[in-house]
Structure 1
């Protein structure tokens, strides 16, 4: 790639024309290629990227029937699904949108709790470059911060003060 063809990381229209120019289904659809779902295991204090979460098929979600009421899953293990959107500016890429959604899973009864509308809305907010992680518990905020810094310290440094404030 020469300097003229450098790929710009941003909100893209479908990367490769999946319609081969015929103008059918999917034309003009937004690509989610610059958003990554990060799953935080609250008890273990671990964070991993799991692209399966884009379609509610992460390792945590597989084989679980999700119920809309948290009370129906009293022994659910807590998780956070964090949507991380990356943007690029002249200085380099940064974490532009970061939003978190609650989720619980009880493997024993194969049930869990999550609010699908909340998950979709938070994905949308991350795509719109919003920072919404203030409601997370302190331990999970720290896990997320460490994960983002370890993934790319430069991206963390270039990120907004709002993100740093909400995760401090």
Structure 2
């Protein structure tokens, strides 16, 4: 991969950082509602050894989710390639922004039969837990965890440094 392409790709891989606080006291529409402005889906593709932000995953329209029919039974996609949608929540602390919640959800895609597996309840629960600052990656395979760790470290070293020890311990060193 050329450095120019790598540079351009990094710029398109942006995390969403909270802009507004729905509880800031304005009293208008949406007070007390959940804001999704500080969560980003990171796609981990261990087949191609890559990780990238794809905001389309917020509505099940990511690169890996397009042009397949999702079925709730993993056994019906026996030759599916493994992917992970990792819900990454960014918060701002006293030292600046940090990765506060990280939760990975499995996806299996078999393009040859245009079928894929994912557990919608798991994705919703993991998104919610990420937003609540939980770290849920223990069920991920080691190569995928390493891709995620490298991606987060390379995305912004300060955000990684500001993150919790729990996250740093859950993801392997370089």
Say whether 1:32 aligns with 2:41.
no
- Please report how far the alpha carbon of residue 29 of structure 1 lies from its aligned counterpart in structure 2 after TM superposition: 2.3
Q: Which residue of 1 aligns with 2:54?
A: 50
TM value normalised by structure 2: 0.83
Matched-pair contact (CA < 8 Å) for 1:64–1:107: yes
1:129 aligned residue (112, 127, 133): 133
Question: Structure 1 residues 90 and 10 mapped into 2: Cα distance closer, same or farther (>3 Å)?
Answer: farther
Q: Which residue of 2 aligns with 1:12?
A: 21
Q: How does 1:24-103 map to 2 (within 5 A)?
A: 26=30, 28-103=32-107
Question: Structure 1 residues 130 and 109 mapped into 2: Cα distance closer, same or farther (>3 Å)?
Answer: same
1:164 aligned residue (148, 163, 168): 168
CA RMSD of aligned residues (A): 2.0
Matched-pair contact (CA < 8 Å) for 1:11–1:30: no
TM value normalised by structure 1: 0.85
| Number of equivalences | 154
- Whichever of the two has the greater Rg, that structure is 1
Question: Unaligned 5+ residue runs, structure 1?
Answer: 1-7
1:153 aligned residue (138, 151, 157): 157
Question: Unaligned 5+ residue runs, structure 2?
Answer: 1-16
Q: Over residues 64-105 of structure 1, what are the superposed CA-to-partner deviations in whole Å (9 max), with x where a residue is unaligned?
A: 111111110011010000000001111111000000000000
- Please report how far the alpha carbon of residue 12 of structure 1 lies from its aligned counterpart in structure 2 after TM superposition: 3.1
